[in-house]
């Protein structure tokens, strides 16, 4: 391709078949059933609440790409076997368990089963309702004998009662009478499809490290099972063979119909069934309601969990099912009031934005004692593990829209602190080192170069909690818990780094990996050092703040953490002396001390069938070159933006963007934000669109593994931080928008210190209004603004910041030509996908 | 420890209990049976010929530390399961198989078994005879009922017939008559002790990556078995379940006695027995002779191997067993004439030197189509794999004493060339990349950082074959085969490296690991670059040489290798432009481009129970520091000594020696050689002694896994290259001795271009004499010398080179204080040992 050609980016397309998936502002709608991409649609239509999640499997239980019901943090453990062992390697594998499935409601008319892939469907409509928080399906089926049957169902995982799921299933014969059977099940699938931990014996080139491990043995050991025909209640209880975690699942059933029917309950170790046999008459509806409760624990006996299930079900029995639907709606009223982002006159974008924000609710709302898995509760990808995705991609959204959820996620890290201290010890470091990937707090990353070596996770967590404290003013959390994380992570950095006296004196951090997993185990990774500096400073500040303002809390903390008198000074010195790689000649920050000495990967000469790189080149090959899987320096430009001048930002973006493959979904949102900031407006929108449709258009060809939760959080960041121009460095809130040319208006909400501010950006102005609370102070394009309740403020804008044409300039020089929305890539490797990072 | 103390090295001790193991010039003798260190003694008393090896297990079959009979290269394959997969990772695990055991000769007197650990032994004597090439044992046993029984046995693996082993077993009742049973077996142990591939479920900290993998399934599938009572012949045949390799083992038995006896043959799938029941009379000897043949192949049907076994046994039947012992003696007469190294007035040293040289014969003499495993055929350590040990540590000895064996070992690499080309392709490189560890030619290193990344193996092989061609003048090998290796490895280097234009223009090699496994995946590793330069130059020279001198061979080669016109020029340019890291301020060569930027590991502050480092620190921790497992730059100073000035050598040695842990047995010999060269005479002797007794004194606490063959080769290098001062850069032979103060004379032999030269070094002179052949030209301390047959030459010496007192100077500065002979280490971690390298 000629250098000129590379300056003409391909068009932005959303890749959705709008005949099948029509645009709707508050729903994802499917008008045509298609079995060919069930993996994707099971993910897109999943329902969940952050604790319990159900993939969008069809009610009938088959066909399916992957059955999936997940409880956040409910996992099995196993001994990691390294092909070659070494001291300190991760030992305890952790894999989220596909728990017993209550979604199954099989329908037989004239003893013929309804099976969508072969059914004659006269009507079909499925929609995920972002406002009512439920999945609905309506269809009319012509049975093999020609009878038309209307089937309507709803499936909801409750936001108000996190252990609860509710399903309704209504069947009406439209033409004539017929025997109807509805078999409602709880099904524990240990049938070799989902639960098998068989790593490919062939070990072909196609092995994908992003999939969950499977088990070759039974995971869920039956503990209890019973059914009560009279009450229509059924219970199954299990214990994980190795982790010892326990689970009980119970269902209540009710039937409402004027037809004659019989009911039978059958319970076995791995299956419980309530079967209704109905002598159905034409036009007389049959309505079955199924209420399910899941309770889980680290080791409480099953009988106690069964009691908890009973209480959940009894409560619904008292309140009625419809009340649950009303509660759900009310919950989402509040959610959208806090969280909605509106893009005027862009209905496709608006729908996709709300789908993304809805996923954030589904991934985090009721996670509470747990973290936020990379796939939320929508799939088993990455084994249900927690990564830095939570802190860097999802938490900003929660902090500014649902601070209580943000606090819960941060408290989860606080509870992991003892394990993180232990892990630091295993790596011969002081303080605490949070694991790169984990469920139970122990490091589960079996490949240290792109796992354990990412020490930056300590700083990412500290960053997120600092941001949370700034945005909320939650000093109680700071002094009682967050300070412990800050101190222990600062200790880790102070111990990990060292002073080098080489002319001057500077503080260096060696042998770590930054966010970009295409360059590993380096010295002075820019991102790591900048974030560690922030971590060290913030820890020192927190200690000083306690000492000055809450002396008693300070004393308790000093005792609790055995804080030595000279420690804080050491952190401050390390922060001030921190080596920040900078290349004066090019005016850029090298990604690490020696990054610029590497050869530049010739992306132009890399054929599409060799993408993504991680599935086509040995790590040693990739590591040898200047080529990025995902934003690294560019991410630092966003998170620590006040540490870089506008010129540095542009120079860095110009340098790194052309050599960034985007093989990780964590990349496009960050590239969008900085592209917008430095002035590449088209490119920013392009990257944003790529991120917005990562799952909806299955752009990385692995939506079937579950929602890319980090990307959904990144979409919010790109909207609010990128186009919306919001920043919050050191607790100072600023707005400097970059509204895309094609968007007339962008509106978002921020909850700051308990006050909810609506920010509405047009090409001419920023309009600010308090929606709830008293007052918010911030700065718009350098102008200090105080917004008080009842008094909206409008700040006129002189354009949307700097404007640069086309693509970053050095693209042809670096030989990198690829569509920033990843089209070329996903087109050619449909079953491979985009990166071992999310 | 104070800085002063570190200048007082601990005394040199050999650690052998001389009451139990008395000194003997030609034998390793054991006078006291001791079951507590059978692992070590089974290794020390092993017999083998490079093809077939038998550990020194007791004749009775138990007790044992590890039964072991090995056929070089006879291996099972398995699919390597990586805890986290990536493209290009090694796929095919290869593990040497413990083949059926013919050593077993059980003795019962009055139906009481002879079992050494509990037997009342009146006399006991076991000796490995280096000159007769056999293991003998003599003992007198007082049976539980008080009868004295004399038992004498011999065990020999034939050097002249590599498939053959011979055992004799003679029993005489000294006091009275008694029934005697001798049960001679072929035993295939698939009993879970040896053949199990169960990686520790606990995965505790104590996992040792140096042990062989074990199998959890049956490896040897029975193919055939039969016995012939009349002839006393028994046969078992097997096929490896996964690799498909086949094996047949057959034995003949004869008994000579004047007593009455019966003979019974019993054959099962995993056992064949010949049992003699003898009515033994006092003083009437019973002599059983057992002749065994092993034949193996990659896939020839067992029946054909059985035929080969028959032919081997029939031949012995014709010639008689005693002829085999005579042939063995004659073979070793010739071996020692070529290979012996004499150290006058140092009987302990002399014995140990001969044990080491004997091991080299046992590891290599009849390896022929195979490589030389890290443990020879004496144990299953490192899975029977071939490493660079062969080329860098063992081949110099073979090249200068048994050139035919050297040629066979190099031809083995030539035969691996197609697999090496394929491997280069997997790593996206041109040419050929030899695997770091392998049996069948495929990479079996499951940990790339300290495995696959050691690209230097290409240069090591090229180095060894260049040295071989220089020493032998074997141009036939060069033009027909060796040139292919030179060209393909040069191509790999030319493609791997790249030109950087940074002021000047230089050629860089990034992302590789040098010999030192405590620093991995670095840029411009000094050793790698210096060796790659030699490789590139030597390949270019070879091509020019062919073109000039053998144009037909040149044309064939150009066609065979599709050599392009400009390739050779590229190699020469890359060699001339090769980046050779040098720090002008300190006058040293940094181990890699950024080595000196690392923190220096504080060895002084590292407690003994944290040694060796690899068993006590996560790799990421170790890699972050300046600390060496084994010589790296210092090895380059030896192999490419003409590329460094004496000042550089001393500065480098002074810098690196104090931070070298010696956690690998490959290190001490190299440190000894360079210590001697730069003038640390005491230290050189100390390192030499450490290497000399690595196995004899079990200094790394893992002699039980098998002989450290590389170290035995290193002992020869240290004798000839270190104290003897022999060098051969670019085919120029020089001698500059460094005789230890305490040694009056050192004599060694070199075969150069087919002429055998005896070199005898005293403190006053070097005496040179042709022992076989016509003439050798060389240079002694800069003086050109021509030695012709019948005309010995004596060159007077003015001392033994430079002389520096104590230890390298910067030791205290670096904080490193540890005994160079490793005493502190092995004393504290008796079951852990010294390094994943050998």
Categorize the per-residue pLDDT at A655 as very low, low, confident or very high, splitting at 50, 70 and 90: very high
Query: For residues A51 and A367, is the Cβ–Cβ distance under 8 A?
Result: yes
Least confident residue range of A805-809, B207-211, B390-394, B544-548: B207-211
**Cα(B120)–Cα(B148) distance, integer angstroms:** 10
ipTM of predicted assembly, 2 dp: 0.90
Closest Cα partner for B702 from B441, B391, B375?
Answer: B375
CA Rg value for chain B: 27
Token pair for A410:
């941060």
If pLDDT is split at 50, 70 and 90, which confidence band does A394 have? very high
CB B91 within 8 A of CB B80: yes
Task: Render B291-322 in DSSP notation, one character per residue.
Answer: EEEEEEESS--HHHHHHHHHHHHHHHHHH-HH
**Contact criterion met (CB < 8 Å) for B452 and A616:** no
Min Cα–Cα distance to chain A from B447, Å: 6
CA distance B611 to B660: 12
Cα–Cα distance between A653 and A633 in angstroms, integer? 8
DSSP string for B720-741: IIIIS-EE-GGG--EE-----T
Q: Of A511, A618, A623, which is closest to B426 when you measure between CB atoms? A: A618
The residue in chain A having the minimum alpha-carbon distance to the alpha carbon of residue B495 is A621
List pLDDT tens digits, range B702-750. Answer: 999 999 999 999 999 999 999 999 999 989 999 999 999 999 999 999 9
What pLDDT band is residue A805 in, cutting at 50, 70 and 90? confident
Residues on chain B touching A205 (C-beta within 8 angstroms): 87
pLDDT at B652: 98
The predicted model gives A253-273 an average pLDDT of: 96
Q: What does the pLDDT read at residue B213?
A: 57
Tokens representing B557?
A: 């080669």
| Sheet hosting strand B286-297, strand order edge to edge | B27-30, B120-129, B134-142, B148-157, B164-173, B286-297, B246-257, B233-240, B220-228
- Helix (H) or strand (E) run with residue A237 in it: strand A233-240
Mark yes or no for CB contact A617/B207 under 8 Å.
no
Contacts of B87 in chain A (CB under 8 A): 205, 614-619
Is residue A836 predicted with pLDDT exceeding 60? no
Q: Provide the pLDDT for residue B806.
A: 72
The two tokens of residue A577 are 């002396």
Smallest CA–CA distance, residue A388 to chain B, in Å, is 19
Categorize the per-residue pLDDT at A216 as very low, low, confident or very high, splitting at 50, 70 and 90.
confident
Task: Report chain A residues whose CB lies below 8 A from the CB of B615.
Answer: 87
CB A190 within 8 A of CB A299: no
B21 Cβ contact list (under 8 Å, min separation 6)? B28, B29, B30, B31
Digit-coded pLDDT (tens) for A344-354: 999 999 999 99
**Measured distance CA(B766)–CA(B800) in Å, rounded:** 11
pLDDT band at B214 (very low <50, low <70, confident <90, very high): low
Q: Whole-angstrom Cα distance, residue A528 to residue B724? A: 52
pLDDT in tens, B90-102: 999 999 999 999 9
Average pLDDT, integer, range B788-804? 96
- The answer to whether the CB atoms of B594 and A599 lie below 8 A apart is no
Q: What is the pLDDT of residue B190?
A: 73
Asked whether the beta carbons of residue B448 and residue A619 sit closer than 8 angstroms, the reply is yes
User: Does pLDDT of A384 surpass 70?
Assistant: yes
Q: With pLDDT > 70 as the criterion, what percentage of chain A qualifies?
A: 92
Examine the pLDDT at A198 and tell me if it is beyond 60: no
Site of tokens 């020839």 = B300
Min Cα–Cα distance to chain B from A625, Å: 9
CB B475 within 8 A of CB B466: no
Angle between helix B417-426 and B403-415 (nearest 10): 40
Give the DSSP H or E segment for A155: strand A148-157
Q: Can you state the percent helix, strand and coil of chain A, rounding each to 5?
A: 35, 25, 40
Give CA separation, B322 vs B138, B201, B638, in Å.
18, 50, 45
Beta strands A765-772 and A755-762 are antiparallel
Count other C-beta atoms under 10 Å from residue B789's C-beta.
15
Decide the pairing of beta strands B625-626 and B599-600. Answer: parallel
Residues of chain B neighbouring A85 (CB-CB closer than 8 A):
203, 207-209
**Distance from the B609 Cα atom to the nearest Cα atom in chain A, whole angstroms:** 14
- The pLDDT of residue A503 is above 50: yes
In the prediction, which pLDDT does A820 show? 44
- Report the predicted TM-score, pTM, of the whole model to 2 decimal places: 0.92
pLDDT category at B812 given cuts 50, 70, 90 is very low
Q: Are A88 and B621 an interchain contact pair (Cβ–Cβ within 8 Å)?
A: yes
Q: Are A368 and A162 in contact (CB under 8 A)?
A: yes
List C-alpha distances in Å: A387 to A96, A107, A213.
14, 41, 17
Residue B522: pLDDT band (50, 70, 90) is very high
- Rounded Cα distance, A779 and A756, in Å: 16
Give the H/E segment covering residue B492.
helix B483-496
A620 contact residues in B (CB cutoff 8 A)? 88, 427, 448, 452-453, 511, 521
User: Which of B77, B79, B81, B85 to probe the A interface (max A CBs under 10 A)?
Assistant: B85
Which is it for the CA torsion A110, A113, A117, A122, positive or negative?
positive
Evaluate whether B753 touches B403 at the Cβ level (below 8 Å).
no
User: In the prediction, which pLDDT does A60 show?
Assistant: 95
What is the C-alpha separation between A582 and A814, in angstroms, rounded? 20
Tracing tokens 């020029």 back to the chain, one arrives at B569
Interval A245-269 mean pLDDT: 97
Average pLDDT of the segment spanning A82-106: 94
Q: How far apart are CA B722 and CA B678, in angstroms?
A: 10
Q: Judge whether A16 and A693 are in contact, CB under 8 Å.
A: yes
Whether A488 sits among the annotated catalytic residues: the reply is no
Task: Give pLDDT tens digits for B151-202.
Answer: 999 999 999 999 999 999 999 999 999 999 999 999 998 744 443 333 333 3
pLDDT of residue A229 exceeding 90: no
Q: Which of A83, A199, A428 to mutate to test the interface with B (most CBs of B within 10 A)?
A: A83
Residue A196, pLDDT above cutoff 90: no
pLDDT(B790) > 50: yes
Integer Cα distance of A804 and A711 in angstroms: 26
Give me the phi and psi of A433, to 5 degrees please. -125, 110
Q: How far apart are the CA of B259 and the nearest CA of chain A, in angstroms?
A: 57
pLDDT of residue A209: 56
Q: Helix A483-496 to helix A403-415 angle, to the nearest 10 degrees?
A: 50
DSSP secondary structure, B233-289, as one string: EEEEEEEETTT--EEEEEEEEEEEESSEEEEEEEE-SSEEEEEEEEEE-TT--EEEE
Q: Which of A517, A572, A677, A769 is catalytic?
A: A517
Token pair 């599709």 in the structure block, residue: B562
Which residues are bridge partners to B35 per DSSP? none
* pLDDT at res. B13: 56
Residue A812 pLDDT exceeds 70 = no
Confidence of residue B503 (pLDDT cuts 50, 70, 90): confident
What pairing do the DSSP bridges indicate for beta strands A260-267 and A134-142?
unpaired
Closest CA to B404 of B453, B373, B368, B446: B368
| Model confidence pLDDT, tens digit, residues A661-687 | 999 999 999 999 999 999 999 999 999
Search chain B and give the residue with CA nearest A613: B87
Angle at A830 between CA A824 and CA A836, to 5 degrees: 90
| pLDDT at residue A213, rounded to an integer | 57
- Determine whether the interchain pair A447/B523 forms a contact, defined as Cβ–Cβ distance below 8 Å: no
Residues of B taking part in catalysis: 517
Is residue B365 within 8 A of residue B402, CB to CB? The reply is: yes
Residue range B400-426: average pLDDT?
97
Task: Provide, as residue numbers in chain A, all residues whose Cβ is less than 8 Å from the Cβ of B84.
Answer: 209, 445-447, 451
Of B209, B511, B594, the CB nearest to A620: B511
Q: How far is CA B324 from CA B167, B168, B312, B359, in A?
A: 11, 12, 12, 20
* Confidence at residue A16, expressed as pLDDT on a 0 to 100 scale: 84
Token pair, residue B809, equals: 């100077």
Confidence at A211, pLDDT banded by 50, 70, 90? low
CB distance B78 to A203 below 8 Å: no
Q: Out of A80, A93, A614, whose CB is closest to B87?
A: A614
The helix (run of H) or strand (run of E) holding residue A167 is strand A164-173
Closest CA to A337 of A656, A674, A772, A22: A772
State the Cα–Cα distance between residues B195 and A519, nearest whole angstrom: 40
**Nearest CA-CA partner of A28 in A337, A273, A348, A361:** A348
- pLDDT for A746 beyond 80: yes
Question: Which residues, 6 or more positions from B412, have their beta carbon under 8 angstroms from its beta carbon?
Answer: B367, B369, B370, B371, B386
Whether the per-residue pLDDT at B502 is higher than 80: the answer is: no
Contact B447 A615 (CB under 8 A): no
Q: What is the mean pLDDT of chain A?
A: 91
Asked if the model's pLDDT at residue A45 lies above 90, the reply is yes
CB contacts, 8 Å: B91 with chain A: 203
Instruction: Give the model's confidence band at A14: pLDDT under 50 very low, under 70 low, under 90 confident, else very high.
Output: low
Q: Is the pLDDT score of B824 beyond 80?
A: no
Secondary element (H or E) of residue A823: helix A823-828
pLDDT at B232: 84
Which of B83, B200, B837 is best to mutate for the A interface (most A CBs within 10 A)? Answer: B83
- Cβ atoms < 10 Å from Cβ of A645: 10
Shortest distance between the Cα of A446 and any Cα of chain B, in A, equals 6
Instruction: Judge whether A364 and A371 are in contact, CB under 8 Å.
Output: no
């Amino acid at each position: 391709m000629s250098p000129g050609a590379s300056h003409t980016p391909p068009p932005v397309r959303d890749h959705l078949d709008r005949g099948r998936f029509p645009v709707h502002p508050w729903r994802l709608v499917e008008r045509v059933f298609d079995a060919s991409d069930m993996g994707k649609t099971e993910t897109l239509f999943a329902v969940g609440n952050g604790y319990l999640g159900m993939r969008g499997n069809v009610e009938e239980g088959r066909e399916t790409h992957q059955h999936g019901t997940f409880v956040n943090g409910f996992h099995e453990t196993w001994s990691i076997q390294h092909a070659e062992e070494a001291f300190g390697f991760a030992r305890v594998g952790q894999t989220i368990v596909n728990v017993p499935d209550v979604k199954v409601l099989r329908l037989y008319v004239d003893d013929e089963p309804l099976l969508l892939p072969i059914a004659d469907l006269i009507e079909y409509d499925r929609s995920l309702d972002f406002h009512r928080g439920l999945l609905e399906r309506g269809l009319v089926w012509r049975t093999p004998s020609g009878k038309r049957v209307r089937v309507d169902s709803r499936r909801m995982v409750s936001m108000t009662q996190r252990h609860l799921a509710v399903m309704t299933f209504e069947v009406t014969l439209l033409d004539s009478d017929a025997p109807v059977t509805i078999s409602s099940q709880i099904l524990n699938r240990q049938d070799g499809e989902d639960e098998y931990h068989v790593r490919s014996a062939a070990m072909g080139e196609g092995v994908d490290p992003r999939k969950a491990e499977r088990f070759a043995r039974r995971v869920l050991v039956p503990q209890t099972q019973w059914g009560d025909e009279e009450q229509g209640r059924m219970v199954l209880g299990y214990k994980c063979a190795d982790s010892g975690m326990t689970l009980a699942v119970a269902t209540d059933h009710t039937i409402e119909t004027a037809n004659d029917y019989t009911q039978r309950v059958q319970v076995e170790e791995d299956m419980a069934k309530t079967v209704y046999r109905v002598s159905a008459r034409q036009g007389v509806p049959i309505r079955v309601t199924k209420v399910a409760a899941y309770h889980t624990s680290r080791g409480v006996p099953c009988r106690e969990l069964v009691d908890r299930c009973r209480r959940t079900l009894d409560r619904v029995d008292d309140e009625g099912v419809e009340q649950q639907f009303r509660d759900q709606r009310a919950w989402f009223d509040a959610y959208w009031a806090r969280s909605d982002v509106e893009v005027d006159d862009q209905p496709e974008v608006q729908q996709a934005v709300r789908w993304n924000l809805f996923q954030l609710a589904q991934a985090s709302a009721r996670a509470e004692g747990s973290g936020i898995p990379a796939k939320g509760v929508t799939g088993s990808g990455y084994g249900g593990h927690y990564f830095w995705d939570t802190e860097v991609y999802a938490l900003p959204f929660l902090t500014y829209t649902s601070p209580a959820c943000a606090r819960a996620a941060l408290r989860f890290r606080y509870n992991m602190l003892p394990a993180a201290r232990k892990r630091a010890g295993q790596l011969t470091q002081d303080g605490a080192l949070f694991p790169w990937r984990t469920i139970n707090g122990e490091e589960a990353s079996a490949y240290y170069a792109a796992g354990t070596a990412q020490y930056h996770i300590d700083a990412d967590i500290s960053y997120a909690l600092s941001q949370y404290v700034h945005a909320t003013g939650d000093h109680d959390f700071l002094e009682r818990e967050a300070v412990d994380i800050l101190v222990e992570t600062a200790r880790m950095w102070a111990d990990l780094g060292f002073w080098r006296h080489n002319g001057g004196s500077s503080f260096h951090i060696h042998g770590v990996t930054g966010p970009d997993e295409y360059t590993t185990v380096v010295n002075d990774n820019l991102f790591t050092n900048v974030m560690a500096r922030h971590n060290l400073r913030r820890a020192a500040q927190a200690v000083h703040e306690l000492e000055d303002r809450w002396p008693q809390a300070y004393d308790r903390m000093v005792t609790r953490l055995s804080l030595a008198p000279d420690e804080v000074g050491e952190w401050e010195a390390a922060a001030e002396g921190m080596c920040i790689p900078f290349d004066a000649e090019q005016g850029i920050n090298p990604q690490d001390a020696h990054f610029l000495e590497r050869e530049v990967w010739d992306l132009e000469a890399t054929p599409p069938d060799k993408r993504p790189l991680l599935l086509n080149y040995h790590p040693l090959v990739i590591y040898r070159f200047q080529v990025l899987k995902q934003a690294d320096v560019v991410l630092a430009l966003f998170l620590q933006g006040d540490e870089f001048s506008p010129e540095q930002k542009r120079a860095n973006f110009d340098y790194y963007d052309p050599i960034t493959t985007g093989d990780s979904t964590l990349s496009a949102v960050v590239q969008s934000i900085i592209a917008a900031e430095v002035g590449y407006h088209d490119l920013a929108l392009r990257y944003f669109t790529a991120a917005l449709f990562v799952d909806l258009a299955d752009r990385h060809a692995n939506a079937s593994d579950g929602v890319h939760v980090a990307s959904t959080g990144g979409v919010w960041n790109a909207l609010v931080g990128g186009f919306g121009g919001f920043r919050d460095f050191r607790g100072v809130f600023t707005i400097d928008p970059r509204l895309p040319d094609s968007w007339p208006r962008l509106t978002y909400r921020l909850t700051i210190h308990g006050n909810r501010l609506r920010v509405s950006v047009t090409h001419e102005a920023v309009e600010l209004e308090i929606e709830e609370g008293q007052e918010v102070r911030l700065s718009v394009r350098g102008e200090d603004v105080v917004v008080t309740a009842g008094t909206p403020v409008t700040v006129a804008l002189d354009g949307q910041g700097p404007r640069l044409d086309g693509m970053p300039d050095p693209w042809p020089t670096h030989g990198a030509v690829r569509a920033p929305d990843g089209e070329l890539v996903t087109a050619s490797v449909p079953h491979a996908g985009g990166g071992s990072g999310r």
